[in-house]
Chains A and B, each alone.
Chain A
Amino acid sequence: MLSRVAERVYWLARYIERAENTARMVMSFHLVSLDMPRSVPLTWKNLVAVTGNDDVFEEHYQREDERNCVKFLLADHYNSSSVVSSLKAARENVRTTRDLVPSEAWEIVNELHLFARDNIDSGLGKRGRYQFLTEVVQRCQTLTGLLAGCMSHDPAYDFIRLGRNLERADMASRQIDVGAFRLLKRPEDESAGPYEGLLWTSILRSQSGFQMYRQHVKRRINGVDVVRFLLQDIPFPRAVAHSLDYVRGAIERLPRNEVPLRLAMQTRRHVLKAEVEQLIKEDRLHAFIDTLQLEIAGVHDALADNWFALDKAA
């Protein structure tokens, strides 16, 4: 398999996953914002912080209000992680690898890209937002299902799996970070206190994890358990540990995998070994997530260097 092709299917999967996660995040925050009393200030800017693109946001906007934040997250082309940008990039990547993936995959991505581009206005307004975002999420999942069910599970598919799960682990860890920042670090901020459960629920919801949490954790929603669930619950497919499990599995099947495999396993071990309660008590969760994100980026660098690097001479 050509390195360039491997890189493109990997990014195809990453961008689709990014679009889906961003859409989920905006949707759950949108829903919780409708529940919150006006006295509790909701900072949409936190969502921008999740994507790590705060500086780009600040370059373009002065007001950190809902309108600007949602526009930045969903529509703006100068935000390379916005839903519209991600879908456009996904489309470019599948366009150049059409011969590798089932032909329906191209159609789904192409139509999704057109749908998002043409209906973005309803996503920006409050009224059509839920429907718009649900549709984006569902179409992303259609693609994931199609690839899982109709594409040979060959190296190309392993690169798709790799991209999807690494992106998912990355986004999930960012969500935990922001949630933790908002909810755990400020005991003095009394206004949100009674609504803590609501906010954690929204974070679970953004990962479709609310119901699964209920079934498997069986305890009242609380910060420590939610963080543990989203970070370490191996059976839950959107948990960081689960995603890293899949990253490891995909890497294991690929040739010449020593370096990326070692890093992926190391990262996974660190996640599973983390003492969540301790980290929160000692106010070290943010630092831990920071390191985790560097490690995830390290896995990406290692695999890019190992399989995609084109500048190496013969």
Chain B
Amino acid sequence: MSIDWKSYDPSPFYDELIAAPGKPRPVARRLTEYLSSLGDQELQARKQAADHAILEMGISFTVYSEGENIDRAWPFDIVPRVIPKREWEEVQAGLVQRLTALNLFIDDVYNDQRIFRDKVMPKYVLNKSRNFREQCRGIKPPHGVWAHICGSDLVRDRDGTLYVLEDNLRVPSGVSYMLENREVTKRVFPEIFENSSILPVDEYPTQLFDMLAAISPRPQDYPEIAVLTPGIFNSAYFEHSFLAQRMGAELVEGADLVVGDDDCVYMRTIEGLERVDVIYRRIDDDFMDPEEFNPDSLLGVPGLMRAWRNGKVGLANAPGAGVADDKVIYAYVPAMIKYYLDQDPIIPNVPTYLCVNEKDRAYVLDHLDELVVKPANESGGYGMLVGPHASKKQRAEFASLIKKDPRNYIAQPTLSLSVAPTLCDDSLEPRHLDLRPFVLQGVRTDVTAGGLTRVAMRKGSLVVNSSQGGGSKDTWIVDEED
């Protein structure tokens, strides 16, 4: 037996590959035909090959369980998600536009604050913004860029429209899995790469290196670049180590670095101290420099802020860049794009109600059973209320939370995330997914070809996080004209 697309029915959701039972989207035709040509047994064999490759390549992520951290094999579904190149070009332009505006905003917030003076955005949003850093006022990083690496989460609603769900401007992770997913897929389905034109994704480490080199305080051919990790216990340690290796950069922990009296950053090596020019830090602001932020942090480097402020080291992302992660600020991104660039946003935001506004709040409290309520400054899906799935008691709890601290909550309509065929046990079933492309901004701006597609492996689930039973797929940007 082989796959019968006629019996695959994604309704009522938008499916990335299949328009209707038996009718693949044009961009996915080759893939779906290829998959049905394989037959069940062969498909299972490919799945096993993928699982084996993942173990062999050591692709893992770390979860905490019973006080121990465990390395788990990366969960991966072999059926790729496909996006037409024409659509992707539009998305790319939208992501470049968005990050450009966000960087202009961050630079403005820490310098002139024109956007508040011109009343485009109320200044109160800064007051309770957890990621606004007073210490960064007046600093002008190279090229005016604060958020060099951005991972924006995109979701597709029932009608096929793509929305930006959130921007991650602090230490977005996942890009190594995007690269590894492609490696695995090439091993598992080599035939299909021969006769389709799927855009490659492996330029990312080079682009990341170039971007980091461009913020080096010492213009030279061989800047010393280091990836700063909180260490092996961090859930993204695999990625830190992966990126350091791919860039030929040094993977360092806080204790490896020291800031000298000359404000330069050095790493402790067996040769003695060696100067570091650029740090790709994967540690949150709070833990980065115990002299200026959390004094108890053992992960950071005392004096790092001083070195950065005095232009002796490049930091990506810049401290304070996370100010724009705030979901209240997210709601103003379309206004920012208009204000700084005088353009209309190419990719829309999900409509967002700000509980701090009286009218919005009244609406939210009235419609808690339809809306998703999120705290403004959390990431990773923590502290959320999904109205339609919540109990009466949970909704009442959130109502009082919102009334107590309206600034800290926003609400959005519950989207019907799109689905794609996913290999479950022995058949293909529709599962919900999202997409995290990565954008690099330095002198130039680059967007990955596709990104990391995360998929909720459990039927009906909207939770795509790998720590909570989420999986992932390779993402293909396919040139149909070829």
List residues of A whose CB falls within 8 A of some B CB: 1-4, 6, 95-96, 98-99, 103, 106, 155, 254-256, 307, 310, 312-314
Contact = CB atoms under 8 A, between A and B. Distances in A.
Name the residue among B58, B256, B268, B271 with the largest chain A CB count within 10 angstroms: B268
A4 B259 contact: no
Contacts of B252: 2
Contact of B255 (A95, A310, A314): A310
Interface string B285-306: 0000000000000000000000
Contacts of A96: 231-232
Name the residue among A3, A98, A99, A256 with the largest chain B CB count within 10 angstroms: A3
Contact of A256 (B231, B260, B271): B271
A151 to B, nearest CB: 16
Contacts of A1: 269-271
Nearest to A6: B270
A113 to B, nearest CB: 13
A197 B267 CA distance: 55
Contacts of B256: 2-4, 310
Contacts of B231: 96
Nearest to A310: B255
A254 B273 contact: no
A256 B272 contact: yes
A112 B396 CA distance: 53
Contacts of A310: 255-256, 268
Interface string B224-244: 000000011000000001001
A99 B270 contact: no
B433 to A, nearest CB: 30
B245 A99 contact: yes
B266 interface: yes
B241 A3 contact: no
Given A99-B245, A314-B266, A2 B271 contact: no
Contacts, number: 51
A96 B270 CA distance: 17
B241 A98 contact: yes
A98 B59 CA distance: 12
A99 B243 CA distance: 11
B260 A2 contact: no
Given A314-B258, A314-B259, A314-B261, A4 B268 contact: yes
Interface of B: 58, 231-232, 241, 244-245, 250-253, 255-256, 258-261, 266-273
B58 A103 contact: yes
A6 B241 CA distance: 16
Contacts of A2: 250, 252, 256, 267-270
B58 A98 contact: yes
Given A2-B250, A98-B241, A106-B58, 16 more contacts: A1-B270, A1-B271, A2-B267, A2-B269, A2-B270, A3-B270, A4-B255, A99-B241, A99-B244, A99-B245, A256-B272, A312-B268, A313-B258, A313-B260, A314-B258, A314-B259
A314 B307 CA distance: 13
Contacts of B253: 4
A3 B257 CA distance: 10
6 nearest A-B residue pairs (beta carbon): A314-B260, A3-B268, A307-B270, A314-B258, A96-B232, A255-B271
26 contacts: A1-B269, A1-B271, A2-B250, A2-B256, A2-B268, A2-B270, A3-B256, A3-B269, A4-B256, A96-B232, A98-B58, A99-B241, A99-B244, A106-B58, A254-B270, A255-B271, A256-B271, A256-B272, A307-B270, A310-B255, A312-B268, A314-B258, A314-B259, A314-B260, A314-B261, A314-B266
Nearest to B238: A98
Contacts of B251: 99
Contacts of B250: 2
Given A99-B241, A99-B244, A99-B245, A314 B232 contact: no
A314 B301 CA distance: 13
A110 B250 CA distance: 24
A95 B58 CA distance: 12
Contacts of B244: 99
A155 B261 contact: no
A135 to B, nearest CB: 23
Nearest to A106: B58
Nearest to B262: A314
A96 B251 CA distance: 10
A307 B273 CA distance: 11
